[in-house]
Amino acid sequence: GDEADLVPRPPVVTVMGHVDHGKTKLLDTIRNTNVAAREAGGITQHIGAYQVTTTLDGEERKITFIDTPGHEAFTAMRARGAQVTDIAVLVVAADDGVKPQTIEALNHARAADVPVVVAVNKIDKEGADPIKVRSQLTEYDLVAEEYGGSTLFVDISAKEGIGIDNLLEAILLTADAELDLRANPDMPAQGVAIEAHLDKGRGPVATVLVQRGTLRVGDSIVCGEAFGRVRAMLDDNGKALKEAPPSCPVQVLGLTSVPRAGDNFIVVPDDRVARQIAQQRAARQRSAEMAKSGRRRTLEEMFKDLEKGKVSELKLIIKGDVSGSVEALEDALLKIDVGEEAKLRVLHRGVGAITEYDVNLAMADDNAVIIGFNVRPEVRARELAEREGVDIRYYSVIYQAIEEIEAALKGLLK
């Protein structure tokens, strides 16, 4: 469609943060305090996302929440090419402060280029220090508006229901200030599957987020390698919907198989076309998998890509056994003198084994290499890396890591 067809759509929000800082509680509280907007007698069900209504400057506004918290889901979807999130809410418990997964979540949001709103949670607790949270995050270039920065920090208690309206307002203000969220509702729908499973009674059930167009009962759709006709659509209150506009999450019944989270869906003219596309995709997927198993994105290949100008920088993810060694390695790598064109960037660093998140992050950023310093990958992370061709380099002596990367970078720039 053309520009004129674009109309505002609600922001889609993912809640991230360190374990036990209150992500699940916050998502529950937001949904429950919005009870007035729900159908009387409606039974809420977790379908992977929900929408709430709030008012800003006297205007009714909607916000869509993805209710599978955590950056695992977020990054796994991104690694599959699906970008569903417009804004990340970073939950930090005020009694516990900034923790490793807080920073990990922040790095994931940044890698996705998604603005962050900070929810400083548990302010009802003794020992809560919301000011400290602000100053801690300043070290990571996340500066609160009241300190001259551009990030909105909101003090909340998910448990006591304090500050929830302020948080919703901050999300909308951030969306309005930093994003221009528009979509054309008058076209065949497109979007992403957020969650899917096989239901004994209802068959394949998928929650999809509509990103453009309007999805309607009776539409023929293809979702990844699954296809079918939309038999019914339900919202998170179990209410049947006839149509779903942009940013609306709905549970869809009528697919003939179960898609994967992160699969894109499109509406096509009829069932025959849907079947054809799905079958073509399945065939293409099989050959891509075969091709991939013989391919690895090695450090050497990355340097070649850099040299050819195919990529502009080399991104590293550094994992180590203790924080001291991770910092030392990062410092040393960033100090490698390659003239003015230092094309090295550390995307993420952390202590502990290499996990699936790290591999997903490397995949999401096509040219990232993982450096393991005295650590090994978890089994599933290793399998994923092998399957997807992500290069993991292991070192146990700092100077070896430095030498190898320095040699390559210098070779590259000569």
Cβ pair 206, 239 in contact under 8 A: no
To ligand GDP, the closest distance from the beta carbon of 15 in angstroms equals: 8
Cβ pair 163, 120 in contact under 8 A: no
- Which single residue brings its beta carbon nearest to ligand GDP? 22
Nearer to Mg ion, 74 or 395 (CB): 74
Nearer to Mg ion, 73 or 222 (CB): 73
CA distance 281 to 274: 11
20 binds, among ligand GDP, Mg ion, none (CB under 5 to 8 A by kind): ligand GDP
158 binds, among Mg ion, ligand GDP, none (CB under 5 to 8 A by kind): ligand GDP
Nearer to ligand GDP, 75 or 211 (CB): 75
To ligand GDP, the closest distance from the beta carbon of 122 in angstroms equals: 4
343 binds, among ligand GDP, Mg ion, none (CB under 5 to 8 A by kind): none
To Mg ion, the closest distance from the beta carbon of 15 in angstroms equals: 9
To ligand GDP, the closest distance from the beta carbon of 207 in angstroms equals: 19
Nearer to Mg ion, 91 or 252 (CB): 91
Nearer to ligand GDP, 67 or 236 (CB): 67
**Chain contacts with ligand GDP (rule: CB under 6 A):** 17, 19-25, 69, 121-122, 124-125, 157-159
To ligand GDP, the closest distance from the beta carbon of 343 in angstroms equals: 37
184 binds Mg ion (CB under 5 A): no
185 binds, among ligand GDP, Mg ion, none (CB under 5 to 8 A by kind): none
User: Of the candidates 2, 5, 9, 24, which one interacts with Mg ion according to CB under 5 A?
Assistant: 24
To ligand GDP, the closest distance from the beta carbon of 48 in angstroms equals: 15
Nearer to ligand GDP, 17 or 259 (CB): 17
Cβ pair 153, 169 in contact under 8 A: no
CA distance 359 to 247: 29
Residues that bind Mg ion (CB under 5 A): 23-24
